[in-house]
Amino acid sequence: MIRYWPALLSVLLSLSAIAGYYVFLRVPAVRNHPALYLVAFAIAAVIAGAATWHAARWPNFVALGLSAVLLILGGYFNFVLARVPATPTVLRVGEPAPGFTLPDAAGAPVSLASFRERVPVVLVFYRGYW
Amino acid sequence: MTELGDEGVQILAISPDPNERSQELAQKLRAPYRFLTDGDLAVTRRYGLLHAHGGHKGQDVARPTTVVIDRRGIVRWLQLADSIQIRPDPTDVARAVRQLGS
């Protein structure tokens, strides 16, 4: 088993990158650099690839296969699925925010103008469908 | 974004969802959120933040965006997402709010 420590290291690195992504989801400094998990998968693939080159045994192939699949899926998610296209926003720093009135959770109408001269407002547009 | 709780600021969270459950959660967390429902995404569209077919079932959704508006109704800070994985750091938003002064 000791001969397969690079394969084991590769698998552990891949798994800890996945675990770390969820553990640190609430830490902005980590969450906002999602490419970190791709770097971990890539390092895991290089380690497993070197181990396979050195000794073509099944544990090395498993580690190589796992890290390669994670690298491809992770890359597809990060660079394709998670992308948000640019939108022609009308918002400009230094210009007024367009007014609106929308119902709150209780159905009561809330207008942006009602906060004027009272408190600053932070608008958070989110995707919903939780 | 509970860092903003003491800043004297109103957070309005806007999505197409009916938001009863979100509002209950915010009350439990004592976060100063009010959840507004933009059911037909009319305001999202007017703001130019529509991500057409961006939902996980192909629905239209909003491009995740955070906007700080001062007491005069002027946009003072803005972050638009390029990836659904990225959200503003609450400390950055809190700093933008504090810089408005009172």
The minimal CB distance from A105 to the residues B19, B88, B100 is found for B19
Query: pLDDT tens digits, residue range A5-18?
Result: 999 999 999 999 99
Mapping DSSP onto H, E and C, the string for B20-85 reads HHHHHHHHHHCCCEEEEECCCCHHHHHCCCEECCCCCCCCCEECCEEEEECCCCEEEEEEECCECC
Pick the CATH number of B2-98 from 3.40.50.280, 1.10.10.10, 3.30.110.70, 3.40.30.10: 3.40.30.10
Instruction: Give the residue carrying structure tokens 């009010």.
Output: B34
User: What is the pLDDT at residue A112?
Assistant: 96
Q: Is residue A129 over pLDDT 70? A: no
DSSP B16: S
For residue B94, how far is the Cα from the chain centroid? 13
SS3 A94: coil
Task: Write down the ipTM of this complex.
Answer: 0.86
Task: Quote the CA–CA distance of B4 and B12 in Å, as a whole number.
Answer: 12
User: What is the pLDDT at residue A87?
Assistant: 86
User: What is the pLDDT at residue B23?
Assistant: 75
Query: pLDDT tens digits, residue range A58-101?
Result: 999 999 999 999 999 999 999 999 999 888 889 999 999 999 99
Number of C-beta neighbours around residue A13 at 10 A: 18
CB contact under 8 A, A126 and B90: no
Task: Quote the CA–CA distance of A55 and A6 in Å, as a whole number.
Answer: 11
Name every chain A residue with its beta carbon within 8 A of the beta carbon of B59: 129
User: What is the pLDDT at residue B100?
Assistant: 87
Average pLDDT over residues B1-7: 51
Task: Quote the CA–CA distance of B55 and B38 in Å, as a whole number.
Answer: 15
Domain spans, chain B: 2-98
pLDDT category at A2 given cuts 50, 70, 90 is low
Q: Is residue A19 over pLDDT 90? A: yes
Distance from CA of A52 to the nearest CA of B (A): 33
Beta bridge partners of A110: A102
Name every chain A residue with its beta carbon within 8 A of the beta carbon of B77: 93
Task: Quote the CA–CA distance of A52 and A59 in Å, as a whole number.
Answer: 9
Domain spans, chain A: 2-81
Name every chain A residue with its beta carbon within 8 A of the beta carbon of B4: 122
Q: Judge whether B38 and A110 are in contact, CB under 8 Å.
A: no
User: What is the pLDDT at residue B3?
Assistant: 52
Q: Judge whether B5 and B99 are in contact, CB under 8 Å.
A: no
User: What's the first-to-final CA gap in chain B, in angstroms?
Assistant: 20
Average pLDDT over residues B30-52: 89
User: What is the pLDDT at residue B36?
Assistant: 93
Task: Quote the CA–CA distance of B102 and B97 in Å, as a whole number.
Answer: 10
Q: Judge whether B65 and B80 are in contact, CB under 8 Å.
A: yes
Fill in the amino acid letter for A66: L
pLDDT category at B4 given cuts 50, 70, 90 is low
Name every chain A residue with its beta carbon within 8 A of the beta carbon of B23: 104-106
Question: Half-sphere exposure of residue A8, counting CA atoms within 13 Å on the CB side?
Answer: 5
CB contact under 8 A, B47 and A90: yes
Q: Where are the beta strands (DSSP E) in A1-130?
A: 101-103, 109-111, 121-125
